Structure 1
Amino acid sequence: MTQTSAPPIDIPAGAPASRRWFALVALCLATLMVMIDNTIVNVALPTISRDLAASSSGLQWVVDAYTLAFAGLLITGGHLGDRFGRRRTLLVGVIGFAVVSVIAAESGSLAMLIASRVGLGVFAALVFPATLALLTSVFPDPRERAAAFGAWAATTGVAVAIGPVLGGWLLEHYSWASVFWVNLPFAAVVVVAVVALVPSGGRQEDVGGFDVIGLLLSVAAMGLLIYSVIEGPGHGWTDARTVGGVIVALGLAAVFVRREMRSAHPILDVRVFRNRQFATASALIALAFFCLFGFIFLVTQYFQAVKGYGTLSAGLHTLPFAVVLALVSPLAMALVRYLGVATVSATGALMMAAGFALVELTDADSSYWGLIICSMSLMAGGLGLISGPCTHVVMNALPPAQAGAGAAVNDTTREFGGALGVAVLGSALSSVYLAAMSGSPAVAELPDSARAAAETSVMAGIEVARQAPAQMGDAIRGAVQDAFVDGLHQSVWIAVAAAGLAAPVMWWGLRERTHADAAVVDVGSEFI
């Protein structure tokens, strides 16, 4: 893989080096804003379920509508940044993000909330690739750029864990709408910081035509795939609608690849995936965020429904994940110096698999400071070993003129992997939960309406138990919690298998020291 050096952009010659690091802070703030929205809504799901009468499938769409739109349009967002200027595109995205946040906060129905989450994802897709592409230009020195990539990668992971904490605090004091109102002051700070600290980033001189057909094909393929997986438990995994949806989605993806290979001005030059290390690094990032997003979706419900934590407490109990990730991410970039990207990243996959395996030993009575925090620490450490090094590999595979496209590929793998994680792990849990509740003697004694409500989601089941007479309530609560834990165990096996089996495959795909490794050789001194 050939490392490319981006020419420095409009930071004046002789300007202090600190100017670049201040620009990094501003770009990490923008990254933090859009990434927090992936998970800040998770702790609000029980409240949204009660206020808007949402089923498990509806709650998954509240989460996945954002990540689906985000992932589906990232390639387009990166292309627009290259075409019209990366800072300009980033600012449009931040302002649009703030405007749609108002609509989300004022939503009076589940359909309106899901639609506004789609809108948030659209504008986030303009922001996210621009941040990474601008870093490529702001840091022309390979050593400094590797350090910047490490900080950026740490921010993306930490944001996923911070979301439940911030959301929990807001819900302790305000309604669920506050998780969207908070975006307004956040966006204002980001706009001021970007305008003051971040240079323009330039644009390509010859961008050619706009591949609208390619855009539509990519969005249709990913959208149909996610939809088919989310609705799988309701339709049945062998139902023609589920199987047919997956097959058609894969067919659309194949047509997209064929279209992009023949296009004179593709949105994404898919031939870059012929590079073994680029393709492997992208796949490993997708896998890591598949496991992470799916687990965060499940564990926030586990903390509230099974452990009985409040919304703020549930968020705070995920905070060690962010702390461990922040500590391991810079260490990972330094370890590449001695071990190479392949060994470091494969070790990360094994650590994630071990963390998920520990979840299989937990139950309603498990101590937070025992198995639970150990499992989260292993997952966070594994993610830290994967994210930074693999991001560096991906971003060094393309020339500076295609930095936006490279950032979009990197970002798409994160968001698409995360969306699938919520869909697959959430759907697997829903299938087990529904089957267990349908056969539960405690629930069978309930009126039809209450029984149907208890079977829709674990939080609805807890609410039914709360409203039932004391003697019945305890039995219903126990049945609901047992069904959820069974579903959690079954769904987490998917993550254990995926991460464990991926480790040797990823080591093979990333093996051999590359120029990307060499660029990280001295990065440890930037952090340690």
Structure 2
Amino acid sequence: MSTDQPAGRSRWLALAVLSAQTLMIVLDQTIVNVALPAIRDDLGFTQSNLSWVVNAYLIPFGGLLLLAGRLGDLAGRRRVFLTGMAVFTLASLLAGLAWNPETLMAARFLQGAGGAASTAVALGMVVRLFPEPAARAKALGTFSFVQAAGGSIGSMTGGLLTQALSWHWIFLINLPIGVAAGLLAPRVLEADRGLGLGAGADWLGAVLVTAALMLGVYTIVGVDSHGWTSAHTLVLGAVSLVLLVAFLLRQGRARDPLLPLRIFTSRGLSGANLTMALLVSSMFGFQFLVVLYLRQVLGLSAQATGLAMVPIAVMIAVVSLAVSPRVATRFGDFRVLLTGLVLIGGGLAWLARVPADGGFAADVLGPTLAMGAGFGLAMPALMGLGMRDARPEDTGLASGLFNTTQQVAGALGLSVLAVLAATRTQSVTGVRPEQALTAGYHLAFWVGTGLVAAAFVVAALVLRPGVAARRTGEPGANVPDRALPQL
């Protein structure tokens, strides 16, 4: 199916290419937020359709991840990655040169599609490049840092580029990165032929799942405008669920399913995805709500708020790059994951007590650093646990499934926590606006704490070494976590 794995420095260059492309895509999800007012004024967006600068990217990105991951297994992961990278880079050029709203939204849609293709297979390629436990722990630490810290870096970079140059450069900055990665990638990435499209070309299933996911993401991102109980949300959400059920029924009967249902018999993969959904739904909301607290309650400027998010990015970098690989090799991914979840939950519970008259250093820095350390520990360990039991021919699919879980759960969690915070704020009367806002954030942070606690319970029950193996007949029963077999 593939050639021998790259050895020595070449595979670390391959990791650098995969990480650079992933960072570019993660940045693009947040870098545009700061530039939205400038884009509105320059291109003539109305306030009501300005959100589509973001949504036009998120909908294809979230909807195509699963399909792109399976296509990586069938057509070759390197081929899908390179295609996605090329589409994303060319779409970035079009976005940077956009002359009207329609052009920019079309470019953003293409960016989302290209980003989905390259992102969906990247994690599977990292796992295949590093079969040894110690090397894999280090590689996953690097990769998870890129995914976790990219959002904070994007918010800061977007403000600097927009202020120093213009909003066009938040997209044009992708060109040198994309071109450099495109020239290097064919030389350092593993050449794999894939299983062949005939081994799983379930096109009806592809249409059903892509439509279900894209409609689901569209419904979620529209909650802010329409509300959770509106006909728009309820009807479209129901249609999305019907399409998803139809897809699953199709996969149970298709000769060559796009998503073989056997993949869910792996307790490791299923448990890791459920844990990921609970964790990410709290963390996406946390980033959004902390920024609002800093701006609306503490009164920090946009630039100061961007700088305030730097410490958590630095903490994630230090822990995921330097600490996580060492402790994972010594104590095992399972123990490291639980430790990280405790730190994240503790940080959220700490934030749930921030006062309306607080300060960044006294009330926000400590809990965000704890959460950064926890995320730096939990994410690489969770990726390792989830991908460990995936068959070699399913690594692209498993990677796409992980990324789909992240995107859909993140969007859903953000919407739920934001609505809860707003509803609570509106119900508080007779106090200063800052106190009402803080009461809303308190509720959202407590709910986020509950989500992380649920993630801890799922991980402890499902991902504990030996238990999953005994119940499913997988290799590794009663084997310590650090000695479990790797891909």
For normalisation by structure 2, the TM-score amounts to 0.85
Deviations 1:200-230 (A, max 9, x none): 2332257435222222222332333333344
- Identify the residue that residue 182 of structure 1 maps to in structure 2: 173
Count of aligned residue pairs for this structure pair = 474
Q: 2:92 aligns with which of 85, 92, 101?
A: 101
Structure 2 residue matching 1:21: 3-state secondary structure: helix
Q: 1:28 aligns with which of 19, 37, 45?
A: 19
| Cα distance in 1 between the residues matched to 2:422 and 2:56 | 18
Distance 1:144-1:150 versus aligned 2 partners, 3 A rule = same
Structure 1 residue 369 displacement after superposition: 1.5
1:9-28 equivalences under 5 Å are: 9=4, 11=6, 17-28=8-19
Distance 1:522-1:221 versus aligned 2 partners, 3 A rule = closer
| Cα distance in 2 between the residues matched to 1:201 and 1:369 | 50
1:285-324 equivalences under 5 Å are: 285-324=276-315
Distance 1:288-1:502 versus aligned 2 partners, 3 A rule = closer
Structure 2 residue matching 1:501: 3-state secondary structure: helix
| Cα distance in 1 between the residues matched to 2:131 and 2:454 | 37
For normalisation by structure 1, the TM-score amounts to 0.79
| Farther off after superposition, 202-211 or 353-362 | 202-211
Assess if the C-alpha contact under 8 Å between 1:81 and 1:89 holds in 2. yes
| Cα distance in 1 between the residues matched to 2:415 and 2:214 | 12
| Cα distance in 2 between the residues matched to 1:489 and 1:196 | 51
The answer to whether 1:199 aligns with 2:193 is: no
| Cα distance in 2 between the residues matched to 1:183 and 1:99 | 9
Assess if the C-alpha contact under 8 Å between 1:328 and 1:384 holds in 2. yes
Q: 1:166 aligns with which of 154, 157, 162?
A: 157
| Farther off after superposition, 242-251 or 106-115 | 106-115
Structure 2 residue matching 1:40: 3-state secondary structure: helix
The answer to whether 1:501 aligns with 2:454 is: yes
Assess if the C-alpha contact under 8 Å between 2:341 and 2:374 holds in 1. yes
Structure 1 residue 127 displacement after superposition: 0.8
The answer to whether 1:75 aligns with 2:66 is: yes
**Runs (5+) with no aligned partner, structure 2:** 470-474
Distance 1:49-1:503 versus aligned 2 partners, 3 A rule = farther
Q: 2:391 aligns with which of 387, 399, 404?
A: 399
| Cα distance in 1 between the residues matched to 2:133 and 2:89 | 34
Distance 1:353-1:64 versus aligned 2 partners, 3 A rule = farther
Structure 1 residue 174 displacement after superposition: 2.8
Structure 1 residue 123 displacement after superposition: 0.3
Structure 1 residue 417 displacement after superposition: 2.1
| Farther off after superposition, 412-421 or 423-432 | 423-432
Identity of aligned pairs, percent? Answer: 30
- Identify the residue that residue 216 of structure 1 maps to in structure 2: 207
Distance 1:501-1:59 versus aligned 2 partners, 3 A rule = farther
| Cα distance in 2 between the residues matched to 1:113 and 1:289 | 29
- Identify the residue that residue 345 of structure 1 maps to in structure 2: 337
1:336-415 equivalences under 5 Å are: 336-337=328-329, 339-363=331-355, 365-415=357-407
Superposed CA RMSD in Å reads 3.3
Distance 1:302-1:132 versus aligned 2 partners, 3 A rule = same
Distance 1:206-1:117 versus aligned 2 partners, 3 A rule = closer
1:102-141 equivalences under 5 Å are: 102-107=93-98, 113-141=104-132
1:196-275 equivalences under 5 Å are: 196-205=187-196, 207-275=198-266
Question: Which amino acid in the other structure matches residue 9 of structure 1?
Answer: D
Distance 1:371-1:345 versus aligned 2 partners, 3 A rule = same
- Identify the residue that residue 38 of structure 1 maps to in structure 2: 29
| Cα distance in 1 between the residues matched to 2:450 and 2:409 | 15
- Identify the residue that residue 472 of structure 2 maps to in structure 1: none
| Cα distance in 2 between the residues matched to 1:307 and 1:50 | 28
- Identify the residue that residue 463 of structure 1 maps to in structure 2: none
Distance 1:321-1:54 versus aligned 2 partners, 3 A rule = farther
| Farther off after superposition, 17-26 or 354-363 | 354-363
| Cα distance in 2 between the residues matched to 1:58 and 1:308 | 27
| Cα distance in 2 between the residues matched to 1:263 and 1:325 | 43
Q: 2:465 aligns with which of 509, 512, 519?
A: 512
Assess if the C-alpha contact under 8 Å between 2:33 and 2:155 holds in 1. yes
**Runs (5+) with no aligned partner, structure 1:** 1-5, 442-477, 524-528
Distance 1:356-1:117 versus aligned 2 partners, 3 A rule = farther
Assess if the C-alpha contact under 8 Å between 2:74 and 2:200 holds in 1. no
Question: Which amino acid in the other structure matches residue 154 of structure 2?
Answer: G
Assess if the C-alpha contact under 8 Å between 1:70 and 1:121 holds in 2. yes
Structure 1 residue 408 displacement after superposition: 1.0
Structure 1 residue matching 2:157: 3-state secondary structure: helix
